[in-house]
Amino acid sequence: MDIKKITVIGGGIMGSGIAQVIATSGINVIVEDAFKEALDKSKKTISESLGKFVKSGKVSENDSATILSRIRFSSDLKEAVSDSDVIIEAVPEIPDLKIKIFKDIEKFASPNAILATNTSNIRISEISASMNDPGRLVGMHFFNPPVLMKLVEVIKGEKTHEKNFEAIYELVKKIGKVPIRVLKDTAGFVVNRISAPESLFFCMLLQEGIDSPAAIDTFAKSQALPMGPYELMDYVGIDTVVHSLEYYSKTLSPDYGKCTYYNSMMKDNKLGLKTGEGFYRWENRKAVIPQAQPSDKVELMDILCLEVNEAVKLIEDGVTSPDDIETGVKLGMNRPFGPISVASGLTNSEIKEKLENISKKFKISVFEPARSIKEGKLKEVLSGKVERKESKVKEVKPAETGAKPEGLIAIIRENRVARLEIRNGKNNLLNAGVLNELESAIDSLWNDKEIYVIVIAGSGEIFSAGAELTQFIPGGIDFVEYSRKGERLFRRLSEIPKITIAEMKGYVLGGGFELSLNCDIRIATPETVIGFPEVTIGLLPGWSGTQRLPKLIGMSRATHLILSGERFDGTTAYNIGIVSKLFTKGEIKERTMEFAKDLSEKVSPIAAALSKRLINKGSEMSMDNGLEMEAISMGLLYTTDDFKEGISAFVQKRKPDYKFK
């Protein structure tokens, strides 16, 4: 569908943000609101927001003016929607108000226009029930603030037309956001549904007098969360939380009605940031939180297991896919990991036991383990195989859900050279996903006789700024195994029967530095920033750094660099023998690939494979044993076709054509 004009109904914070996002993507947009004051405020909000982007250098003055020129404001609904391709409603979360607005929109909108609602909780089918054609309506849930948050939930109501659903899904991508598919209409959809049991859980903690908000929030922050649960509720608005729980009590479970603590706060007008006081007093948009010791009455695992449980229910009910749940929670809640990653690191029995204890303690059935967890089938759910009432087993495939993730490691083949590019955001951080894909890439290339040289690089300006430290790892023994996994995987680069080259540019820190140390050859730019910062944050180089670096440059220098956490540049790395070539920042990719191509054409791959093994193993054995291995390797080479080709090419003064035989 060619979308040229969009109308946003509602000039509030969400409507203004959505309009700005749409205009920034190059599409003309009208903001409609019945109240002139709301439109005036919307104009100001958008102008101030763009001004911040200009000040930060993200948008130029000219681009800001162009974006503003694409936005019109109107208080006439008929005029605003009559020739729009898509109409997005973004008014307050009041079902009757939304229902009335769509009745009015249907009177004036083109029959071909797609209608969307920015509801965060209310079922699409409930809003569309009174429409002449309920199939026109699609859920399009942006997250606040829309100009910054990447996630948009695209929700299919019970009668939503498939073509409308797909058109909105594609529109979300066109305006620069990340869509996830919500295939079955349910209150709260994905992200808010995942967090719903938590809101009830934290309410019950206070109602039961288990601990104070300050102690629990202090505990949450000690677990690397940016905000504690009560501070976050204050920020969102206690009234919003109350209305959500009331809606969930009607649509999901009466258990959500057991929370009364927040209701009493709302009666006292303690709504948080918007009234200046909630759980805390707010000054200059910041909560004044009393000092408190971290609570020892709650565990992070309590919260994580509740999220996993709700995620399993969503998969069982066919609401969405595991991949979309993970994406939704990470982007919608600003988390480094989602419940699918958490569940992958835990056993079915420990999640089941934790949920049974919580539900028994508070007498809340919502906290009870989901059916698949009760039956010990957690791993089946995570793999996309779920039991449904209407069918025994159905595999949720990427084609059905749009869940196929973008690759974190790209394999780019150029003749006899394979370039492996890490593609994980600006800093190319290393996490479990990157390691898994790197392992798969190494597996695929190990016996590939058409590839002689492998270049390891980072996409963009950075090789890798290190490991993603905010990943979920359940416990100490799991961290041990995570370290062992990285060590063994990186070591395979030194053992693979190919020449491996690290293209070190931008930041090469921590795990990124360790990855490069396991390559045979390292190339950098003079400006490359290299180092092991681990000891400065309470860790150590745990992916072979403490063993590799001393063998490469000697114990004294390595000890200094590891214990000081000192960073150094590419020139220094060249001078002390870490890198063997320096190229300028602008030419490093081209020159590295030229070097790799040259090696692939002039070096015998079998001779190179045996040579690198002798070099690496030589430091681990006596001289006599090393020399014996060297002699045996010479005998092996003598029997190869490549040896004969190398001698023939030398005698005939031509370029050799090695076949890896």
Annotated catalytic residues are 120, 141, 153, 192
The mean per-residue pLDDT over the stretch 411-416 comes to 92
Do 71 and 199 reside in the same domain of the chain?
Answer: no
pLDDT tens figures, 45-74: 999 999 999 999 989 999 999 999 999 999
pLDDT tens figures, 169-184: 999 999 999 999 999 9
CATH code of the domain covering residue 581: 3.90.226.10
Q: Nearest to residue 114, comparing CAs of 130, 102, 125, 126?
A: 102
pLDDT tens figures, 448-502: 888 999 999 999 999 999 998 766 777 788 778 888 999 999 999 999 999 999 9
Do 413 and 497 reside in the same domain of the chain?
Answer: yes
**pLDDT tops 60 at residue 83:** yes
Do 208 and 305 reside in the same domain of the chain?
Answer: no
Helices (H), 283-338: 300-316, 322-332
CATH code of the domain covering residue 22: 3.40.50.720
CA distances from 625 to 609, 611, 622 (A): 18, 15, 5
Question: Could you tell me what percent of the chain has a pLDDT over 90?
Answer: 74
Do 143 and 204 reside in the same domain of the chain?
Answer: no
Q: Please check whether residue 66 is in contact with residue 43, taking contact to mean a CB–CB distance below 8 angstroms.
A: no
pLDDT tens figures, 279-329: 999 999 899 999 999 999 999 889 999 999 999 999 999 999 999 999 999
From 182, 199, 234, the end of a domain falls on 182
Domain contains 353: yes
User: What burial class does residue 476 get, using C-beta atoms within 10 Å of its C-beta: 0-12 exposed, 13-18 middle, 19+ buried?
Assistant: exposed
In angstroms, rounded to a whole number, what is the distance separating the alpha carbons of residues 194 and 312?
A: 10
Domain contains 397: yes
Do 418 and 386 reside in the same domain of the chain?
Answer: no
pLDDT tens figures, 229-245: 999 999 989 998 999 99
Do 448 and 554 reside in the same domain of the chain?
Answer: yes
Do 375 and 451 reside in the same domain of the chain?
Answer: no
From 182, 204, 222, the end of a domain falls on 182
In angstroms, rounded to a whole number, what is the distance separating the alpha carbons of residues 624 and 159?
A: 78
Q: Nearest to residue 294, comparing CAs of 365, 223, 395?
A: 223
Mean confidence (pLDDT) of the chain: 90
Q: Please check whether residue 201 is in contact with residue 318, taking contact to mean a CB–CB distance below 8 angstroms.
A: no
- The residue range of the domain holding 611 is 604-651
Domain contains 638: yes
Domain contains 293: no
pLDDT of residue 221: 87
Q: Please check whether residue 316 is in contact with residue 381, taking contact to mean a CB–CB distance below 8 angstroms.
A: yes
**pLDDT tops 60 at residue 534:** yes
pLDDT tens figures, 90-148: 998 889 999 999 999 999 999 999 999 999 999 999 999 999 999 999 999 999 889 99
Token output for 530: 């290299």
In angstroms, rounded to a whole number, what is the distance separating the alpha carbons of residues 265 and 192?
A: 21
Residue 60 Cα to chain centre, angstroms = 28
CA 244, 250, 256 angle in degrees (round to 5)?
60
User: Residue 529, SS3?
Assistant: strand
CATH code of the domain covering residue 357: 1.10.1040.10
Token output for 386: 């779920």
pLDDT of residue 386: 53
pLDDT tens figures, 148-162: 999 999 999 999 999
Q: How confident is the model at residue 660 (pLDDT cuts 50, 70, 90)?
A: confident
Token output for 633: 């390797």
Do 419 and 553 reside in the same domain of the chain?
Answer: yes
Domain contains 631: yes
Beta strand ranges found along 215-264 (DSSP E) = none
Amino acid letter, residue 114: I
Q: Which segment, 136-140, 143-147, 406-410, 654-658, is predicted with the most confidence on average?
A: 136-140
**pLDDT tops 90 at residue 442:** yes
User: Residue 150, SS3?
Assistant: coil
Domain contains 33: yes
Domain contains 198: yes
In angstroms, rounded to a whole number, what is the distance separating the alpha carbons of residues 145 and 35?
A: 22
Q: Please check whether residue 473 is in contact with residue 431, taking contact to mean a CB–CB distance below 8 angstroms.
A: no
Domain contains 295: no
Token output for 67: 């974006």
pLDDT tens figures, 588-623: 999 999 999 999 999 888 888 888 888 888 777 788
Work out how many domains the chain is built from and give that number.
5
pLDDT of residue 385: 59
CA 423, 425, 431 angle in degrees (round to 5)?
75
Q: Give residue for tokens 């006789």.
A: 449
pLDDT tens figures, 333-366: 888 788 998 888 788 998 999 999 999 999 999 9
From 594, 622, 637, the end of a domain falls on 594
The mean per-residue pLDDT over the stretch 556-571 comes to 95
Q: Give residue for tokens 């190229």.
A: 583
Half-sphere exposure (CA, 13 Å, Cβ side) for 25? 20
